[in-house]
């Protein structure tokens, strides 16, 4: 396996675990506001990010690479409005997408076809992640200022259930 690709995947593991921390922090924010559905949505999002990290962890091990676990930064966002975590989540997903693209470009430059195939799932997943985050912002902008609309949106998000990724390593 190309050393640069391996190093970037190691860094991405940390970014994925940070994403989980960030989303748990957002869940805490919504829980404190009494919006348990929003909290549920972000708790599930956090689990998905942990899964992403573990997929990369396993992929590196499956390719005889050493995994180096670094410290996970503490989330430091402060939110003033109910929509703020949604906007921050969307921006964060765009950051993660750019990071995945960087790894993919490195794999392509190294002719690491196995890594490219592995990363194909993450490229697709990031498209879904950005769409979901963007849709939440749109719904909040449409319904969030009305108490009944906010209640219904909260109920919708409470119905989200966790499903593990189906990526074959």
The confidence score (pLDDT) of residue 99 equals: 98
Residue 20 lies in a domain: yes
In a domain, 166, yes or no: no
164 in a structural domain: no
The answer to whether residue 163 is domain-embedded is: no
Please give the pLDDT value at position 165: 80
Q: How many domains does the chain have?
A: 1
**Residue 74 lies inside a defined structural domain of this protein:** no
Residue-wise pLDDT tens digits, 41-93: 999 999 999 999 999 999 999 999 999 999 999 999 999 999 999 999 999 99
Band the pLDDT of 169: cuts 50, 70, 90: low
pLDDT value of position 125: 94
- Tell which residue, 128, 115, 125, has the closest CA to residue 8: 115
Q: What is the pLDDT of residue 18?
A: 98
Whether 168 maps to a domain, the answer reads no
Where does residue 142 rank: exposed (0-12), middle (13-18), buried (19+ CB within 10 A)?
exposed
Residue 167 lies in a domain: no
CATH number, domain with residue 56: 1.20.1260.10
Work out the pLDDT band at 163, boundaries 50, 70, 90. confident
In a domain? residue 65: yes
Question: Can you give the residue range of the structural domain that contains 121?
Answer: 3-69+79-158
pTM beyond 0.85: the answer is: yes
């Amino acid at each position: 396996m190309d050393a640069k690709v391996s190093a970037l995947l190691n860094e991405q593991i940390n970014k994925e675990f940070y994403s989980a921390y960030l989303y748990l922090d957002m869940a805490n924010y919504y829980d404190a506001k009494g919006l348990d559905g929003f909290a549920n949505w972000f708790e599930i999002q956090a689990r998905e990010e942990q899964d992403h990290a573990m997929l990369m962890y396993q992929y590196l091990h499956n390719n005889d690479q050493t995994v180096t676990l670094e410290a996970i930064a503490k989330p430091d966002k402060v939110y003033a409005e109910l929509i703020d975590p949604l906007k921050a989540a969307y921006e964060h997903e765009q950051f993660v997408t750019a990071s995945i693209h960087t790894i993919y470009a490195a794999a392509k430059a190294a002719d690491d076809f196995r890594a490219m195939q592995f990363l194909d799932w993450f490229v697709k997943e990031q498209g879904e992640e950005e769409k979901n985050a963007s849709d939440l912002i749109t719904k909040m902008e449409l319904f969030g200022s009305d108490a009944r609309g906010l209640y219904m949106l909260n109920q919708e998000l409470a119905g989200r259930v966790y499903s593990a990724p189906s990526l074959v390593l």
